[in-house]
Amino acid sequence: MTEIFTAIFLLAGGALILLAAVGIVRMPDLYTRMQPATKAATLGVGSILMGVAVFFGDLSVTTRALAAAAFVVLTAPVAAHMIARAGYFVGVPLWPGSVANELRGRYDPVTHECLSHAAGEPPEEKGGHA
């Protein structure tokens, strides 16, 4: 029984990580490439670490595997957000097929502060969406 669960977790994790690697090659720009590289890869690593936790079934190993999975799940979004923000300031271009860029004009180029309305436009009405 343990073996079957371990095999399922390992196969799911391996497939997700492979998918992430295919996505990072095939996606058209930095911002879309981050999707597979953070979400799919995080879930894949978490799944493989769950496989380790199930396979050993020992309290100390399971605790460490869960801690490692929790660490990856907590830090991957932070790292991805920081890299995306840095890329946006450096001026990495969006894919020409992108339909929306809600950040356009909202970042102060000097202080790197994010404004709630675009420069040169009036603030949005209160009670509206956003």
Q: Which residues bind another protein (CB under 8 A)?
A: 2-4, 6-7, 10-11, 13-15, 17-18, 20-22, 24-25, 30, 33-34, 37-38, 41-42, 44-45, 48-49, 51-52, 55-56, 58, 60-61, 64-65, 67-68, 71-72, 75-76, 78-80, 82-87, 89-90, 92, 112
State the minimum distance, in angstroms, from the CB of residue 123 to another protein: 26
Backbone CA torsion sign across 27, 28, 33, 35: negative
Give Cα separations from 60 to 6, 57, 65, 117 (angstroms). 18, 9, 9, 50
Integer distance in angstroms from the first to the last C-alpha of the chain? Answer: 49
State the minimum distance, in angstroms, from the CB of residue 125 to another protein: 32
Nearest CA-CA partner of 48 in 4, 2, 7: 7
Closest to another protein by CB, 77 or 121: 77
